[in-house]
Amino acid sequence: MFIDIDCSQVKKYNQNAFGDYFVSKRFPDESRLVAVLSDGLGSGIKANILSCMTATMLSQFISNEQIPIHKAAEIIMNSLPVCKVRHISYSTFSAIDCYDDGNAKIVEEGNPDFVWIRDGEVMSPQFETIQSKTFKNRKLKVYKLKFKLGDRVIFCSDGVTQSGLGGGRLKLGLRREGLINILKEKLTQEPEISSSELAAYIVHQARNIETDRNPKDDISACVLYFREPREAMVFTGPPYHQQKDSEYAKMFWNFNGKKAISGGTTANLISRELNIPIRMDTTISVGKLPAISFMDGIDLVTEGILTLTKTLEYLESGELDIDNAAGKLVKFLLDSDCIMFMVGAKLNQAHYDPALPIEIEIRKNIIKKIANILQDKYFKKVTVQYM
Amino acid sequence: MDKKISVKVCLGTTCFVMGSSNLQELIDTVPKKYGDKVDVMGVPCLGLCSIDWEFSKAPYVKVDDDVIKEATVEKVLKAIDEKLSL
């Protein structure tokens, strides 16, 4: 299973920093994902620092696997200081540690209970309570769960459940029931909705309930969706040993998922080995990037180094809607969950000619950077194979 | 002469940065000048820079089977004219 995760947030009205903090880390080698959502006391910079510290520390503790998640959470619960004015703890948190097979552990302290939806119904899982030894009013909820294909888990800060509090229509705010209604309605309309869209929808709806759409607290929603992965493969660069060309070309062809080729020589190689003619797009792209080509059975064919360099630039800057070869490659990558790069190690000596612009990078380096950003910023599962 | 002349402009990485991005205008201008006697197209890579790298002469254009090194619009048009006058 693939775990599609994303978080959407808005700041409290008139604040310039988020008071909630979300952090997520994927470990492709262990098929594991760790995510933490923390809500800092108050709002603005102070809350930002509090929640950021709590979330990053908890995420570090869990990721390192030196202590189990409930121990890590207990230590943090017991050590969080108390605000002198309000006499409550400095931050609240929810954390999940889950694996691709659906096994997961969740801990919660102070945040609204998460919502687990299976086949359109809200589940009420069993949990264990750990009472803080140092603070009477702090309790940790620990869940040990097994998720199935199609399950959704929604974490949110109290900014969501308390949205609209004291306003006209909902005097007690949206509350958990209101959130569940919103979720059920949206999931009936769009059963396949992605996590990023659902998270954005929840935040949008919570904000709409607030008077004048001005949030009285930071609003955050984090959604996990367990689903079949959308697989993709990018073949770039010719293999180091030429006699392996046909083997790799067949492997590429037999791959069950979307396919892209990045590189002129690479496209020729696949065309030769698999006997698929190449047609070039007739669009002229003066001074920009070489146009894309077309090959039957392959979803995207682009030039190599220049397009990849530009793709990395777009992924870094977040400009995602551009009509050129790199823009198309960005869309190809972001529309997939598991991306495998097959990177040919053969060098083209001509690329090392000092007369060429300095921007011509080494393929392996660009792919490494693209893989990192896809993993860290876009939460994709990326594997790189050199050949 | 019945057979069409084929012109292939290499749009691989080396050729593109060494000037074939400007040669793309041939895709527009040549059909206007020669009508359907000449066929111009871009190709992903002619694979010549990796053979000829010691004396890199990119960008490359192929007019039928003849390779034009360090191609310019003028050189390509001249080559087409020569072919047509044969």
Closest residue of chain B to A293, computed from CA coordinates: B44
Say yes or no for a CB contact (<8 Å) between A286 and B47.
Answer: no
List the beta strands (DSSP E) in B1-86.
Answer: 5-10, 38-43, 61-63, 66-68
Say how many CB pairs under 8 Å bridge A and B: 92
Predicted local confidence at residue A286, as pLDDT: 57
ipTM of model over 0.85: no
Chain B CB contacts of A304 under 8 Å are 12-13
Q: Which residues contact A132 (CB under 8 A, 6 or more apart)?
A: A74, A77, A78, A138, A139, A140
- Asked if A98 contacts A146 with a C-beta cutoff of 8 angstroms, the reply is no
- A285–B21: do the CB atoms touch at under 8 Å? yes
Which residues lie closer than 8 Å to A152 by C-beta, 6 or more apart? Answer: A116, A117, A183, A187, A198, A223, A224, A225, A226
Token pair 């997961």: residue: A104
Angle, helices A245-254/A264-274, rounded to nearest 10 degrees: 80
Residue-wise pLDDT for A220-273, tens only, equals 999 999 998 899 999 999 999 989 999 999 999 999 999 999 999 999 999 999
Of B17, B18, B53, the CB nearest to A349: B53
- In angstroms, the CA A182 to CA A187 distance is 9
Domain B5-85: what homologous superfamily?
Glutaredoxin (3.40.30.10)
Going from N- to C-terminal start, the domains of chain B cover 5-85
* Whole-number pLDDT of residue A38: 95
Residues of chain A within CATH 3.60.40.10 domain(s) are 2-227
Interface of B with A (CB under 8 A): 10-14, 16-18, 21-22, 24-25, 27-28, 41-45, 47, 49-50, 52-54, 56, 58
Smallest Cβ distance to A350: which of B22, B42, B58?
A: B58
The fold of the A2-227 domain, in CATH, is: Phosphatase 2c; domain 1 (3.60.40)
Give pLDDT tens digits for B42-82: 889 888 888 876 667 889 999 988 889 888 888 988 888 88
Confidence of residue A172 (pLDDT cuts 50, 70, 90): confident
More confidently predicted of A159 and A354: A159
End-to-end distance of chain A based on CA atoms, in angstroms?
Answer: 27
Instruction: Note the residue count of chain B.
Output: 86
The shortest CB-CB distance from A264 to any of B11, B24, B54 is to B11
Q: What is the Cα–Cα distance from A323 to A303, expressed in whole angstroms?
A: 15
Per the listing, tokens 């909705």 go with A193
Distance from CA of B29 to the nearest CA of A (A): 12
Cis status, amide bond into B59, omega within 30 of 0:
yes
